[in-house]
Amino acid sequence: MKRLLLFALFLASPVIVHAQDPGATQDAEAARLKLLRAADQIEVIQASGEANAAQVTTLKAEIEQQRMELDATKAQLATLKADNASLREALEKLDAARAAERKTLLDEVSKIVADAGKGQGQGHVAPRAEAHEKAEAPAAPAKADAAQKGYEYVVAKGDTLSSISAAYQAQGVHATVADIRKANTLSNGQTLHVGQKLFIPKP
């Protein structure tokens, strides 16, 4: 369209071409061709500019999309950090609770062993208040062989055969889990109950 307008302007320009002058005719033709080439170049430049504008728009949209994805990733990382902090705090509390339970168990076993050393029977110790309040139908006291020496222990919350055995071994009473299970006729996997009395054999 622009090329047609330029060509029309060129035809309407007040240029006088003498038919008898071949040089003037050639000059006019050369000028017309230059004008057409210039119009073509203008169209190419305009098309290129429109294409570049479209690419810029596409790039802007892609950049905005990437920015939104980055913000979402940052939010997810913040959530993960918060969850990790909560989990770490929970683990620290759990470790502290386990350490407290282990200390309580060791203190009780130490007292049982000390009392037994002073000649106070078989080292009987009353169940802790918490265990007494939440006792779940405690089993009858284990009956040990009259000739067998050992200690009587009342199961408290959180106790396992492994923890009880470890606590007694820490006090020099080398009663293994198998020894305790055998002395109390406990089957493998049998659950201990709060308030249950166990006989801890003394090898």
pLDDT of residue 1: 54
Is residue 51 included in any domain, yes or no?
Answer: yes
Domain co-membership, 79 together with 154: no
Our count of domains for the chain comes to 2
Is residue 90 included in any domain, yes or no?
Answer: no
Domain co-membership, 156 together with 128: yes
Is residue 94 included in any domain, yes or no?
Answer: no
Is residue 93 included in any domain, yes or no?
Answer: no
Amino acid in position 172: G
Q: What is the pLDDT of residues 8-31, one digit of tens each?
A: 555 545 444 444 567 778 878 888
Is residue 89 included in any domain, yes or no?
Answer: no
Q: What is the pLDDT of residues 42-97, one digit of tens each?
A: 888 888 888 888 888 888 999 999 999 999 998 998 888 888 888 888 888 888 88
Is residue 154 included in any domain, yes or no?
Answer: yes
3-state helix, strand, coil in the chain (%, to 5): 65, 5, 30
Is residue 91 included in any domain, yes or no?
Answer: no
Q: What is the pLDDT of residues 122-163, one digit of tens each?
A: 443 333 333 333 333 344 444 444 457 889 999 998 899 999
Q: Residue 25: CB partners within 8 Å, gap ≥ 6? A: 17, 19
Q: Are 113 and 173 in contact (CB under 8 A)?
A: yes
Task: State which of 52, 83, 114 marks the end of a domain.
Answer: 83
Half-sphere CA count of 168, side-chain side, radius 13 A: 26
Please give the residue range of the domain that contains residue 22: 2-83
